[in-house]
Amino acid sequence: MSELVFYVNGKKIVEKNPSPTTLLADVLRYKLKLTGTKVSCGEGGCGSCTVMVSWFDRSTSKILHYSVNACIVPICLLHGLAVTTVEAVGSTKTRLHELQERLVSGHGIQCGFCTPGMVMSMYALLRSNPVPTELQIEHALKGNLCRCTGYRPILDAFRSFSKDSGCPMGDRCCRNKDKKNSSDVVENCNENKNESDMGKQELIFPSELQLSDVYDQQTLEFKSDEVTWLRPVCLKDLLLLKKQHPEALLAAGGTNVAFYLRNASREKPLVIIATTHITELRSFEENEDGFLVGAMTSMTLLENKLMSLIDKHSETKTRLYHSLLDALCLFGSPQIRNRATIGGSLATASRLADVNVLLLAAGSHVKIASTDGEREVKIHDFFTGKSTTCLKPNEVITDVLLPFSTQDEYCGFYKQSPRKDLTLADVNAGLLMEFEAKNSSTVKNAFFAFGGLSSMLAVAKKSSSFVIGRKLDGSLLNELMLSLANELDQFVSGDDAKSFKVAVAQGFMFKFFLKISHQRFPKLEFLRLFKEEERYLLSSQADLQQKHSGVQVYDIITNQSETDSVGQPVPHRYAKQCATGEAVFIDDILPSQGELYLTLVTSTKASAKILKIDPSKALAMKGVVGFLDHTSIISSNKTGLYLDEEIFATEKVDFVGQTIGAVVAESHEIARKAARAVVIEYEELQPITTIEDAISHNSFHSWPGDMGAINYGNVSKAFGSCDHVIEGELKVGSQEHFYMETNSVRVVPKGEDGEMDIYCGAQFATGIQMVVASALNVPCNRIVVHTKRMGGAFGGKEFRSYLVTLPSALAAHRFNRPVRCSLERRQDMQITGYRRPYLAKFKVGFNNDGKVLALSLDMYSNDGFHPEISPIFMAQSLFYSDNCYAIPNIHVRGHLCKTNLPPTTAMRGAGVPQGVLICEYWMTKIREINMYRGGDVTFISVPIEDSMTRCFDEVLKQSNYEQALVNIENFNQQSAFLKKGIAVTPVKFSPGLPPSWCMAGAIVNVYLDGSVLLYHGGVESGQGLHTKMIQIASRVFDLSIDKIHISETSTGVIPNSVTTGGSSGTDLNGGAVLDACNQLMARLKPIKDSNPNGKWEDWVKTANEQKINLSASGYYSHAYKEDFDWKTGKGRPYSYYTYGSAVTQVEIDCLSGSYVILKVDIVMDVGKSLNPAIDVGQIEGAFVMGTGLYALEEHLFGANGHLETSGAGKYHIPTISSIPLEMNVSLLKDCGNPQAVYSSKGIGEPPLLLSNSVFFAIENAVIAARRQAGLSPDFAFNSPATTKQIQSACGLGPQHLLKSLVT
């Protein structure tokens, strides 16, 4: 059979001779034009591509629904299945599904790129379980990433479907109040709406698939030039095929197959055999030895089966199954578990596979079959080496025996990873211990297996043997710890994280020992355990799952008309389109006839001479149209802000990812494959990659003019009079933007006069227009840049988007055809810039009362090979070196390190997050006495408002800070292995751009039917800018927001717009919109006065009849024009500050370094909010992103200049499990701001700085652990505060663990 049949949204799809390399996401997006399914990471690690797959299980006669990642599902796996995408769930053209409605009204959408995936994960859950628990809802979303919202509003919206939902505010719930008559609204109501009509619009499962098993019984064969795909339907045929093709890959769940399909370096054609429809491999059998599971059993189905067995049998008999559930709870994501199989996990022999290490310890058996017969092997003999097993080329796994536990047998699974979800383990362990007889404390048998320590699963044979015959007591634990350390040390030789991994493994053993002692001898007080420790150290992963919650408090304006939306929590204007997948992003634009696709060819060396560029192999490929390099340049090859970069490298490359050329082809797939075929020959040079290297080689970028240092007061004299002087260093790591939509562009030549339309997701449309015009040697008026929306940006699409735009424009010009380029995630991360890492060296002088008198500070930033806009951002760091504190004498200097790394770029906060963290690092113990007060003026002449201290005082009150301190101190005195920490941090941040950029334009058109079309120069990236602009217009016109529309941002309508960044979008563009609307209202005033009882439409009609212009062009330039004079140190670079304070409480596990953010309280001064729901969303999202910066995300380059943490699998942004368990946000009341529209304030970046309170709360918890261990509270603790750093800093080795033993 060479015909593939499946259903999509109820429509039958028949593919004749499909290519085995085609993935589901490609078919949905490029063939069926269902672009609601997004592709962000391309490796099943973010959930943006989530769809629902349904099939009829004939063994149970039930229709099963489950979520999958479309970006890694080969289309050939879908024969006889039904796929549902977001387009079939609901539509703005008909009606939204209830879950989409709730997501919209719950403000759970910002940029909207991840939203369809979120919707589909929740939809799949509801189709399987219409009334889930809150924890089941959270669990279902753990495979979906969001960079904008901070997850809380998404959880709240979906939580309303839970059977145990309810508003945490009780009688204060907003639904119990009339919002128009209430000035104190508490957002976050989880009112149960399960009586909805959900289900009435669900897509019906195709009857053909339910009534007939014809597709289940068909054998399949699909071929391409490189891959042959075979699908047998019985075990006998599978074994014959495996004999014929011994090197063939088996595809069960297919979670890894996509990576093989994309591998272009195959020496011979690949054969894949799909095992999905072999019923013999999906069988279950319970016998006296245990549970025999078919190799094709998915992890999700295995979970369900294990829970049934646990309900059926005693606790003693199912101890292994409890531990397996712990492992499965942390295995991948729901989408991965729905496809991954137990047989596939064993066959990979991965050293990090969570299930493998536990089955190894438990002594499972593996059944194997071939045409030569069947055999059964002990799992100890199954794994033979690095990613190898005892399987012969012609053999397959058929079943796995999961043994019942004996009454005297105990097992445990443990895992430590950088992030709880969607992350491979740093270290994991499967531990087993058996005792002689009932109530005996003598060990009969033991098996200790560990993953992550070496290139293969490690078995601690000596330690396992060591405990046999010994009694379970403190002496054994003491000796076992030492034995384990010595034995495991050999496995991790050469690993930089050696001490961390060994210590974590010891911690696992300690917890396991503790678990056994309490399970077997509950009356024996073997260890002194605090109540919370007992819960944490002894509970299963399921028991440890905790719900997230939060409360948001803000004022609502009440004395205004019904149509005036300013100050109201209006949902994001385009939230419905995002929820239904209708929102069009760049790569969603349907291609036109003859459209071409471009892929960049980039350097693989950090510093090298280019000896040869050979595209001949690429050009010989079918579908390749051409190749561009520096010889294709029309005008100048120079580009960048300082014209110091090359569009295409000529003679030398200076960092990995530098553009050398570009392949143009007839499809994405062909272009990407051809780009890998271009041969580049290099002569390598020695690169400089670190700040330390740059300092030693005196490699720095130069500062323009007198910039680079600020002297305020007399630092030298002040140090001489200080009672105390401290010196130190701090490293602040870099950060990747990880916007969900990668940099993408579509360029359409108009065919005459050099005209060209550019559709791109860029923050700086005018910048794109200028560099393209320059490269094509045409005037700017020939180039029109269009931006509808961006799937996140955070500064990453401000100045580096030209990397994709310029080559695409050159290709479009050369071939006179539309060209598009959409970067793959890993390439985007390597080449487009990132937040710059810092090294700070400080010297601080203060008196006995804690009052700081002097600060001397040097900050070094790694800015990569080109400075781009680094001087401006380092200047920001210098300006914020005081944060919220009055320091009378300051000398701060910035150093811009030049290295062979990709250039850094703008990122949310723009230099301020580093400067503020550095300040707080040395200020922690002496904060309040040094804080600015209302009326003070900073060392750069910006006045301070009293709302700064009001935020600080209010957050202390809101968090009950003093009592929390006492509670944490008491907890830490009693708890040996868990420690809590608390920190409070204030922030001031000035929204804005350089003074010369503080301007904006707008055009407002009123049409004859009364509808309004609004244009402004800002770009919508999810921050709600368009929504706020519409709200401003609605107030001026006193018009419903439904009548006001924004189509796009275009340089053809608004010329010379500045970048959308610096939290200034609303201030600048709002001023321009206000100006244009006021002009129109002034023209309409005589008509309104003459007809005061008329309607808006009447006035518009009359105005048109009177030939009054109903289009107005607005303009705004910030009244504040002063700048900072670096030579004299005088001047005022900012007009106002946005203020805030946060209190964060954390709990760390000293044994593993993992942590939980227990509670966060935030109070922000946002002036008079234009939209409090959007502002709260910005606060929460920024705080969670900052948590990633300060306490999670490691952005690491190797010595060779390659990004080591590339892709969703290696770069870990916060997931749902990373956010605070409780997050409370309040907007400060009775605030204003005369310098911005309607007294509002910019809010996009300031809250990010508050998340340094997470870093300092963790540090304080570590200090508590160090004190217990007798270690100094002064220690090096750099950002980010990763689990490795936390565990190492706690210093709780075996000798400290054993102090708690009762002798």
The residues near 181 (Cβ < 8 Å, ≥ 6 apart) are 558
**Cα of 225 vs its chain's centroid, Å:** 37
The DSSP call for residue 1129 is: T
Q: Which long-range contacts (CB under 8 A, 24 or more apart) does 527-530 make?
A: 527/1300, 527/1301, 527/1302, 528/976, 528/1300, 528/1302, 530/971, 530/974, 530/975, 530/976, 530/978
Both tokens of 269, joined, read 């054609």
Q: In what order do the strands lie in the sheet with 290-294?
A: 284-286, 290-294, 396-403, 365-370, 373-378
d(CA 172, CA 724): 50
Contact between residue 1169 and residue 1010 where contact means Cβ atoms under 8 Å apart = no
Element (H, E) at 377: strand 373-378
Contact between residue 1228 and residue 1165 where contact means Cβ atoms under 8 Å apart = yes
Q: Which residue is listed with tokens 């200034």?
A: 1064
d(CA 1146, CA 453): 28
C-alpha torsion 1000→1001→1006→1010, nearest 10: -10
**Angle between helices 498-520 and 1283-1290 in degrees, nearest 10:** 70
Question: Half-sphere exposure of 25 toward its Cβ, with a 13 Å CA cutoff?
Answer: 25
Both tokens of 379, joined, read 């799992």
Contact between residue 589 and residue 191 where contact means Cβ atoms under 8 Å apart = no
Reduced to 3 states (helix: H, G, I; strand: E, B; else coil), residue 842 is: strand
The DSSP call for residue 945 is: P
**Cα of 1174 vs its chain's centroid, Å:** 20
How far are the Cα atoms of 426, 498, 1153, 1255, 1292 from residue 1288, in angstroms, in the given order? Answer: 14, 11, 8, 15, 8
Q: Is the dihedral of CA 510, 516, 521, 523 positive or negative?
A: positive
Cβ atoms < 10 Å from Cβ of 311 = 8
d(CA 993, CA 1250): 21
How far are the Cα atoms of 635, 638, 1049 from residue 754, in angstroms, in the given order? Answer: 13, 20, 21
Both tokens of 99, joined, read 């879950």
1245 given a catalytic annotation: yes
Both tokens of 1276, joined, read 């090096």
Contact between residue 1115 and residue 1001 where contact means Cβ atoms under 8 Å apart = yes
Helices (H), 620-714: 668-677, 691-696
Q: Which residue is listed with tokens 């700085």?
A: 1249
Helices (H), 174-265: 207-211, 235-244, 257-261
Element (H, E) at 600: strand 596-602
| Nearest Cα residue to 610 out of 671, 676, 658, 664 | 658
Kindly name the residue from 87, 134, 741, 1245 that is annotated as catalytic.
1245
How far are the Cα atoms of 69, 157, 162 from residue 335, in angstroms, in the given order? Answer: 6, 21, 21
| Nearest Cα residue to 936 out of 990, 987, 888 | 888
How far are the Cα atoms of 323, 334, 450, 498 from residue 357, in angstroms, in the given order? Answer: 11, 20, 6, 19
Catalytic positions: 1245
